[in-house]
Amino acid sequence: MTSLESLELTASAAALARAASRADRLLPTRALRPSGVLISAAGATVRVCAAEDDTAVWGDVAATVHVAGDVLVGRR
């Protein structure tokens, strides 16, 4: 089971920024229930995913994961 509070990884900052920017750009700017962005690290991949109501986006980034886990980042 993974933790919902911490993770350790090494990844390209530019690749992570592109994935986060894509998630932010594709979601509506105003939502009734903003859920934030979930960053999950496991194996050799970091997944940045976000959802609002019936819309969801995600992007995978190659990484070296030292400690697998999940971190939820609020949008507000």
* Cα dihedral value 11, 12, 13, 14, nearest 10: -150
Percentage with pLDDT > 90 across the chain = 11
CB 11 within 8 A of CB 41: no
pLDDT class of 29 with cuts at 50, 70, 90: low
pTM for the full predicted model? 0.71
Please report how many Cα atoms fall inside a 13 Å half-sphere around the Cα of residue 13, on the Cβ side: 0
Query: To which residue do tokens 């970091």 refer?
Result: 46
Q: What does the pLDDT read at residue 2?
A: 45
Output 1 or 10, whichever has higher pLDDT: 10
Region label for 33, one of left (φ > 0), alpha (ψ between -120 and 50) or beta (otherwise): beta
pLDDT class of 64 with cuts at 50, 70, 90: very high
Domains and CATH numbers, the chain: 8-73 (3.10.150.10)
